[in-house]
Structure 1
Amino acid sequence: MAVIRVPADYRTIQEAVNAARPGDTVRVAGGVYAEAVTIREGRDRLAIIGPGAGDAILQGNGIGPGFLIGGSGTVTIAGFTVTGFEFGIEVSSNDNVIRDVVLTGNARQGAGVAETSFRSLFYRVTASQNGGDGIEINGGGNYVIRSELRENGDDGLDLNGPTNVALHNLISGNRDRGIEVQGDTALIAGNRVVGNRIGIASTAGQHLIYDNFVSRNQTVGILLQDSDNSLILANEVTCNQEEGLFFNGGTGFRVIRNKVESNGHDGIELSAGASEAVVDDNEVKENGLAGIRPGSATARNVVRRNKLKRNSPDIEDLAPAGANVFDENDCKTSRPTGPCC
């Protein structure tokens, strides 16, 4: 295994990659590199290391990806700004590491992961002001950790494949959703999701959505559409312009120990036949409409031990009498009377 230097050994990054063998390191000096780089077969465990995102710039002309990780896996890319391409980085292999990279000003996505690509890591990546999504992940078992996804033209982060993970990211100011989830069994934890159109949205299920701060989004804080068996635990959902937590259908989900405050509409709304849910031990206060509102078509939900105050009203149950169960809720106002103890 060798260390290859650009421009000392090869004039371009692509020439150095073409000369590399499995396990080699390509070290790139500071500068602007007006090229696209493709990692083909036979270069597993290759590392392409720049001196830092502010010092090494991969500059595109609006066409194709800046870095394409194709036939080789366990590739590392670090220490670059990637700008001016159609896609900043495209990944279609497994087990790669993209870290300490800035993806900005690309016409479509900052980064994309193919449906057949698994277990890649995005760590301390900034994806900002790209035309579409900041990062779109279509494969499974990938990780986005301690990254910043902001001011992109569509979503900050898309998790379309199964069993993907988003941990401790800042996701802000994106035109549509902060995080959109279309694949099952996602882990979404410790993220700060602020100032997007919708904070976190999902049309899949079996997620753990834990310990996120979701605030000042233009519509809903957390929106789950027909999402079965998800656990929404210990999130702080505040100051969103519409609902704090909105469950549009779905069954068997659990909403536990969340802090839901000062949202413009309902704090927690269950709608469109949402059923068999557990809504326990939440703190729900000062929302513009109801604190907790089960809709007219909901059934077999249990709402227990929640603390509610200064909502309008604290609990509004629109379902037929006895369709849902209310027990030990600490609140003052309800329609009809009865759900408050």
Structure 2
Amino acid sequence: MLEHGGRLRLAASEWGIAVESWLDLSTGINPDSWPVPPIPPHLWQRLPEDDDGLLVAAQHYYQAPHILPVAGSQAALQALPALRAPGRVGMFFPSYAEHAHAWEKAGHTVVPLTADAMQLDDIDVLLLIHPNNPTGTRYDSAQLLDWHSQLAARGGWLVADEAYIDVDPMHSLTPYTNRSGLIVMRSLGKFFGLAGARVGFVMAQAELLQRLQAELGPWTIAHPARWLAIQALQDSAWQAYSRAQLGQSTERLAGLLQQHKLAVHGRTALFHWLITPHAARLYQHLAQCGILTRLFTEPVSLRIGLPGTEADWQRLEQGLSTWQR
């Protein structure tokens, strides 16, 4: 199993601090999540049904013609490699490690790419995290569609994991997913803050989604999670509110890090990424304060998510202040 953020029980055991006493800034999940209403009891007693309105709500929200709901984008990224014969998959690094792991496990060769010298002729699949995790790198939509056209002309794919794009959805590729070989993954885990619901979506041509659905099998999402997803996707007022709030919060975090002389090398609206030779020491210092961040080793760097309450902001400020001294 690869390492991920959010492992509070492990952190509690390692640092001797109770689980409930931690401030978790390790995941890049919206700390002010969509407010979950009471779940109708009958949803626990019936199998989920495909015609419950989730597909329509998702099509409206993502502006995509063909959508397959899945148990979080993790389920899709693990199943997609089986739908192609083994080939060469180009990726930028560092990035979300589960993608490379899944493609290599299915027999593909993962090829590290650099933006300065894109070798599309040398790969069959271009896989992007858009914007990237943890670097925050963004890609111009026109450039992405040009890369896709070059790949699709010889049967290749462009796969985009857009887990962090909901704050700026105008840059999404979902409206173009009726094109052959263009596959986009989204989820409710980051922007909506519903990681525990395990709800994601894949957008692509209908034939490919049918093959993916056959690979995953029936009832991939629990009935209560489907119901929650419908309500969240239709709540346009909360979505507008949250985008505005996240914009303010990410600027506040940038200012706080700058105040403590920590340079930001990349960011999205939900996290900031710092490259520093002191990353491991800063990670350990904050952990001793009960603040969990995400440490990376290649390159040595730290990802810090957004605090939620004012008390959380003050706690991070205190942790950074004692580090600086």
TM-score normalised to structure 2 length:
0.23
Q: Which structure is richer in relative contact order (CA contacts within 8 A, separation 6 or more)? A: 2
Q: Which has the higher helix share?
A: 2
Q: Which has the higher Rg, Structure 1 or Structure 2?
A: 1
Query: TM-score, with normalisation over the residues of structure 1?
Result: 0.22
